[in-house]
Amino acid sequence: MPFMTSQGATIHYQTWGSGFPIIFIHPPSMGAATFMEQKELSDEFQVICMDARGHRLSSNGKGTLTIQEWAVDIYHLVEELNQEKVILAGYSSGGSVALEFALRWPERTAGIILTGGFPEVCSTLLKKEFEIGIWFAENNHTTWLAHILSFSNSRRREHRKAIAQTVSTIRPRLLQSLYESGMTYSCTNRLSELKVPLLLIYGTRDWYVHYYQYLFYKYAVHAPKEVIYVDSVGHQVPTLEAHTYNAVVRRFARDTLSHVKNM
């Protein structure tokens, strides 16, 4: 199992395949196990997943984690793997990490895929979701959270078990700090700095985050944008509709690689 050191923490990561690299960034608490269904993309691309500090096999470091610190860990992973450019695929609040990385290191970013992503939390329902996550962490209910997230994100027993194991072992204080950071994080006023292709993926039933696409269209004026809606699913597109999600990611990655080669 490969590990690296970043900002005082020992970070676990996994890679499959070769080719142009795609880094998948999980939501808080779920860990790299989130992306078990994305291994099939390794027949054409290098699939990279990292357990954020405090998740599964990665150490806690200082015991808290912010979106900005997580982005730095991703940067150190890119350096560790000696990659010049990467595609960043963030799921839910993992998209905030992808955006922060792209804004801080545009020279290392080839494209961004956001599934249920947002540049800030500014709607009542999304804020309430973060507050619920903070409540679970404050009250040390990670076992309940593991049950909820594993069953809502997969229909396969093996996948559910892997997600639940990650969620149930995370330290509540670190999880609380990550939810708090995600709720207050905002990069909306910096979106105009983005110039790489941006793919926005939403489940048709994920209606409470559909609003956020308008912020990207309003502020990310220099980034080529595309919106994809996946039928019959809510927020959990990469896990519950993996075949469709992987097909969309594959096509975007091919187009992005072609663009990079022609630069």
Paired tokens of 230: 């996946």
Q: Which two tokens stand for residue 82?
A: 């000696």
CA atoms of 163 and 185, how far apart (whole Å): 25
Rg (CA), the chain: 17
- Pick the closest to residue 181 from 96, 62, 61, 102 (CA basis): 96
CA distances from 109 to 28, 32, 70, 78, 105 (A): 22, 20, 16, 10, 7
List beta partners, residue 4.
11
- Please give the pLDDT value at position 123: 95
Mean pLDDT by 10 residues, the chain (263 residues): 93 96 97 96 98 95 96 98 97 98 98 98 96 95 94 95 94 96 98 97 96 97 97 96 98 89 68
Domains in the chain, CATH or no CATH each: 3-119+188-261 (3.40.50.1820)
